[in-house]
Structure 1
Amino acid sequence: MRAKQQGRAVTGPASLTFLGGAGTVTGSKYLVELRGSRLLVDCGLFQGFKQLRLRNWDPFPVEPRSIDAVVLTHAHLDHTGYLPLLVRNGFRGPIYCTPPTLDLSALILPDSGHLQEKDADFANRHGFSKHKPALPLYTQADAERSLRQFRTLDFGREHEILPSVTIRYRLAGHILGAASVELVHDGVRTVFSGDIGRFDSPTMPDPETLPLADHLLVESTYGNRRHDPKSPEDALAEVITRTSARGGTVLIPSFAVGRAQALLFHLQRLKAARRIPDLPVFLDSPMAQDASDILCRYPGLTRLSEGECRAACGVARYVRDVEESKSLDVTPMPKVIISASGMATGGRVLHHLKVFAPDRRNTILFSGFQAGGTRGAAMVAGAEAVKIHGSYIPVRAEIANLPMLSAHADADELLRWLKGFERPPKATWVVHGEPEASDTLRHRIEEELGWPCRVAEHGGRAVLS
């Protein structure tokens, strides 16, 4: 096996090492070492706080060539965004995912490389980087090369991906193509929750409950919170109506995949019911536009018919040209702009923020979880200024957040999903959450379910017996 030939030999009992997504909501990477082989579940970028982002530049903890395969839960960058670097540094195995995850990754990964190249170029031209020269973590070409190693697997079927190692994908909700993973080796069943979606979502299916697991990794993004029960359409209508009344623009930083499409769905319903002023809606994210088209190709994996999906996506004017994007910033009329990224970490939304954040008439409307260390988290917490492209931009606009639009299950929904298991796992690890959220969920699992449970630590290792 490759793990013996290129890198240290994998011996002893099967084990699991937490290389990311532990103590933080970003950088998900879980290394499974079996007799003679290595398997990586998810391969995400660290985002947010600088000390986390710097981990992206560290040498990978094991030789990339020694990894036999990667299994992805879904397409978001915090689960896939390190793949181009892993491939560039020598990983040559297959990357398994569901068919929609491949389609979405083909948008997200090259875009990530392209943005990193643009940001490095911008920093070099304007001289605000501490590095001379500033370099991208990886390039668009690196990302496109990594896509050649993707292999798709259908939901619900057992697939042998290595000798005597099988996986089965289960619907996780969350976004199109998102999955929980059942990994079986030597009779041992390890379940990776991935990101669990909402129950009773108007657009996505309920997360599928699983019957059995010997070992379980469960996410905890909202492990210490319950989502606001208020209707997202009521909340959206209130924000848009009051902003329009003062002659302002509503700027919505949005994740291009999943969140942007949910926003379009709700905006279309509000417009059809005449519950908001008839403002123009602009979707200023080419990737979000392409993701919307992909969503409509998979009606069997959403709650929407193709017609409903097309109607939702048709509510907005698509802005692809950079010059047209710039023109939105000088047009005085009230409007709604949806632009990536969702935590204001990069992309076109930064240029809009520089224009709209200083004006009290406007609203910057976030639509879900904001990871610590991001501009989104800072603004939601009340920051009076945020640093963009080397300069501090005053924040005088109204800042609002609609956490009920999150695609992550809240604490009660996570417990609902966990109660689907027929018997307690031998061991449960809480992952993918800020420390307080993870520990709160751990406590609830121990107290309400009576399961043995631990919060995963970065770099920690567990035996899978």
Structure 2
Amino acid sequence: MSNRFRLQFLGATGTVTGSKYLLQAGDHRVLVDCGLFQGWKQLRLKNWAELPFPAHSLDAVLLTHAHIDHSGYLPVLGKRGFRRRVYCTRGTQALAEILLVDAAHLQEEEANFANKHRFSRHQPALPLFTADDARAVCRHLAPVDYGRTIEVAKGVTACWRPNGHIIGSASIEIAHAGVKIAFSGDLGRMNDPLMRPPNPITEADYVVVESTYGDRRHPASDTEATLRDVVTRTVARGGSVLIPAFAVGRAQVILFHLYQLRQRGELPPVPIFINSPMAIDATEIYREFAGEHKLSERDYSAMCRMAKFVRTPEESKLLCQQKTPMIVISASGMATGGRVLHHLVQMAPDERNTILFTGFQSGGTRGATLVSGADVVKIFGEYVPVRAEVVNIETMSAHADYEELLQWLAGFRRAPRHVFVTHGEPSAADALRRKIGERFGWSCSVPEYRDEVALD
């Protein structure tokens, strides 16, 4: 049997979505992350393309965390014959069981809506995967504890280290035949208001590091002051604030900041709604995994009582019709799907309202279109005028900026043989590559889609 150890990049190259890394260790295959491509149409089409390997040939899948751009392709993998274990932390298992089924429901709803209103080029429009596909693959989730090394395929071991991005998120160390490779996953902030800082990894021969914010620092502005000012001026002109937010991580941070403002009496007395069943379920998981974040039980309970949770479609429709000032947090964070689209249809044409984004907007998403200043946005096959104020507060991002990425890399006690920079737009990835070379003098490159390298 050959001892070759090879790595192929099947996603998150030139983009922040679709994370997939194929490790071939001798005759065994392990996939690190299994994400959906999002954003530009040419990226989304890759979700429908055939994989360069049979799904049933995988020995295992290893997840860094539950976000859909890292886990959302799992139901498709299952449809195509994968029946082995999906190793992940306990927090990731809990969240993935929510996120994958919710993502499937969105796929089904969008296909049904497209068929009903006949705006799809495909007749009939079909979902990429169904809720049954999602539930089936969730049965293969195999939880592991942080810091425990396990064998995931013959001769291949893996260990998960907390990395502070969301509940359950981790960096993964993988070893085979005396060679170790570390995957950063999506690294959290060193001083996040909710999550604890990433744990360092001290040794690896190869490193795969994300670069979402590889070309920028997070602004030093006061997040809560900016949020207060946006809400205050919007309510003063009789408008509402719509906050598209990732259901896991970002929705909870926003709710925490609003809670802090209300505690200090700095927030107008308007109702706050969370209109995302997935965000509601994810928020409740924060209680179960209290050791992974900084919130006390008292603050957590008070924060949840402050917001009104909108669970049913009927309640959501009524909320969309409400005309009095309010704050609505709804998924998704880049306005690619979900209930937030119905709110955008109602709220974007009204100049009194504000659409408030709270982090990176990937190219080709509605969020990126809106943040760029577009005066119309396409939703459900129709162009909706945008007269509302559009604001983006990047200080709420759950991703490390380039200084924090470099700080994490500085934890390695010796130089890796090579660093691969992924999960970033081209300018961000190349900027981080240069910074790593200048700061550490390490060998470093930005791989392209389907590049394959030997890990000697």
What is the TM-score with the length of structure 2 in the denominator?
A: 0.99
Determine whether 1:127 maps to 2:118: yes
Partner residue of 1:429?
420
Does 1:460 find its partner at 2:451? yes
Is residue 320 from structure 1 mapped to residue 311 from structure 2 by the alignment? yes
1:366-385 matched pairs, under 5 angstroms: 366-385=357-376
1:34 and 2:20 correspond: no
3-state SS, counterpart of residue 24 of structure 1: coil
Equivalent residue letter for 2:181? T
Task: Give the conservation status (yes or no) of the 8 Å contact 2:3–2:177.
Answer: no
C-alpha contact (below 8 Å) 1:267/1:315 kept by paired residues: no
In the alignment, residue 190 of structure 1 is paired with which amino acid?
I
Q: State the Cα deviation string for residues 338-394 of structure 1 (Å, max 9, x = none).
A: 000000000000000001000000000001110000000000000110000000000
1:77 corresponds to 2:68: yes
Match of 1:208 in 2: 199
For residues 71 and 11 of structure 1, what CA distance do their matches in structure 2 show?
Answer: 22
What is the rounded CA distance, in whole Å, between the counterparts of 1:311 and 1:341 in structure 2?
Answer: 24
Q: Distance in 2 between matches of 1:311 and 1:410?
A: 31
1:12 CA displacement: 5.9
SS at 2:103's partner residue?
Answer: helix
Question: Aligned ranges for residues 257-406 of structure 1 at < 5 Å?
Answer: 257-406=248-397
Partner of 1:167: 158
Correspondence for 2:80: 89
Cα offset for 1:453? 0.1
Do the aligned partners of 2:30 and 2:153 also contact (CA within 8 Å) in 1? no
CA distance in 2 between counterparts of 1:223 and 1:260 reads: 23
Tell me how far apart the structure 2 counterparts of residues 310 and 415 of structure 1 sit (CA, whole Å). Answer: 36
Of 110, 129, 136, the match for 1:138: 129
* Alignment check: 8 A CA contact 1:224 1:436 kept: yes
Identify the match of residue 237 of structure 1 among 228, 247, 251: 228
* Distance (Å, rounded) in 1 between the aligned partners of 2:315 and 2:3: 59
Greater Cα offset, 400-409 or 158-167: 158-167
Change (3 A) 1:11 1:51: farther
- In 1, Cα distance between the equivalents of 2:28 and 2:383? 49
CA distance in 2, matches of 1:375, 1:162: 40
| Cα deviation code 1:273-293 (max 9, x no counterpart) | 001111100000011000000
Q: Where does the alignment leave 5 or more consecutive residues of structure 1 unmatched? A: 1-9
Matched-pair contact (CA < 8 Å) for 2:416–2:442: yes
Which of these residues, 32, 37, 41, is aligned with residue 46 of structure 1?
Answer: 37
Task: Quote the offset at 1:163 in angstroms.
Answer: 2.4
Q: Does 2:91 correspond to 1:100?
A: yes
1:226 paired to 2:197: no
TM-aligned CA deviation for residue 192 of structure 1? 0.3
CA distance, structure 2, for counterparts of residue 375 and residue 120 of structure 1: 18
Q: Is contact 1:261-1:313 (8 Å) kept? A: no
Q: Quick check: 1:265–1:313 contact (8 Å CA) kept in 2? A: no
Matched AA of 1:456: P
Q: Percent sequence identity over matched residues?
A: 54
Task: Note if 1:64 corresponds to 2:65.
Answer: no
2:306 counterpart SS class:
coil
Q: Contact between 2:5 and 2:454, CA under 8 Å: does it hold in 1? A: yes
RMSD: 0.9
Q: Which position in structure 2 is the counterpart of 1:3?
A: none
Distance 1:304 1:463 in 2: 44
Deviations, residues 74-109 of structure 1 (Å, cap 9, x unaligned): 000000000001011101110000001011001000
Give the corresponding residue for 1:408.
399
Q: Deviations over 1:285-328 (max 9, x none)?
A: 01100000001111111112222222222221001121221122
How many residue pairs are counted as aligned between the two chains? 456
2:100 corresponds to: 109
Structure 1 counterpart SS, 2:288 = coil
**Which residue does 1:7 correspond to in 2?**
none
State how far apart, in whole Å, the 1-side matches of 2:225 and 2:447 are. Answer: 38
Question: Per-residue CA shift, 1:29-60, capped at 9, x if unaligned?
Answer: 00000112000000000000000000000011
The residue type equivalent to 2:406 in the other structure is L
Aligned-residue offset at 1:235? 1.0
CA distance in 2, matches of 1:376, 1:300: 33
SS for the counterpart of 1:161 is: strand
Cα shift at 1:423: 1.1
Aligned residues of 2:25 and 2:156 also touching (Cα < 8 A):
no
